[in-house]
Structure formats: C-alpha cells, structure tokens
C-alpha cells in the first residue's frame, strides 16, 4: 500500500542517491584523503547529483521537485550514517 502513496520515481531517486554515495565513499577511499573529506563527499555528492537532476528536469520543461531531491539525499544517508558512526566510534 505504501508503494501507491510514494511514486516509483522516488524509489529510483533513493537508489540513485545510495549509488552515488557508494561511489563517492569507495571511489575516494582508494586515495589517501582525510576521512572527514570522504565522509563529507558521501553526503554532498548525492545532494549535488539530485540538484543537477532537478535542474535538468527544469531545463527540459519539467518542474523542480523538492521531494525527488530529498529522496536522493536520503538514499545517500543510508550509507553516510553507518559510516559516520563507525568513524566516530573508532576514534
């Protein structure tokens, strides 16, 4: 029933945010960058990706959907929060 209340595109945005965060975290993890920078990019990258997608929609004649952007960022949070907790408790 909840699938009917939340549009399928929000699930796609959520998954895209998770994939973007995954790519940012593990992609930057191979370089010897500070952990704080990698964690920051894990949440900033999905936000920027979602923002770019919404501006692309506007450019193509669609509308800017804040809920799509929120779904993308929440997808990134799925990876960000556990990584942040591991980082904080491993200090």
Q: What's the whole-model pTM score?
A: 0.87
Boundaries of domain holding 79: 2-89
61: left (phi over 0), alpha (psi -120 to 50) or beta: left
The model's pLDDT over 2-17, given as tens digits with 9 standing for 90+, comes to 566 778 899 999 999 9
Q: What digits encode the pLDDT tens for the residues 19-66?
A: 999 999 999 989 989 999 999 999 999 999 999 999 999 999 999 999
Number of domains in the chain: 1
Measured CA to CA, the distance from residue 59 to residue 28 in angstroms comes to 30
Question: CA quadruple 53, 55, 56, 57: dihedral positive or negative?
Answer: positive
| Amino acid 29: pLDDT | 87
* CB-count burial class (<10 Å; 0-12, 13-18, 19+) for 17: buried
pLDDT tens-digit series, residues 79-89: 999 998 988 88
Radius of gyration of the chain (CA): 15
Q: Which parts of the chain are beta strand (E)?
A: none
């Amino acid at each position: 029933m909840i699938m009917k209340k939340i549009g399928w595109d929000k699930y796609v945005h959520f998954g895209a945010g998770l994939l973007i965060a995954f790519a940012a975290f593990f992609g930057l993890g191979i370089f010897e960058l500070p952990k704080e920078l990698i964690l920051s990019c894990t949440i900033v990258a999905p936000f920027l990706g979602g923002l770019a997608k919404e501006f692309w929609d506007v450019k193509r004649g669609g509308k800017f959907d804040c809920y799509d952007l929120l779904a993308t960022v929440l997808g990134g949070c799925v990876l960000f929060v556990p990584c942040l907790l591991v980082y904080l408790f491993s200090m």
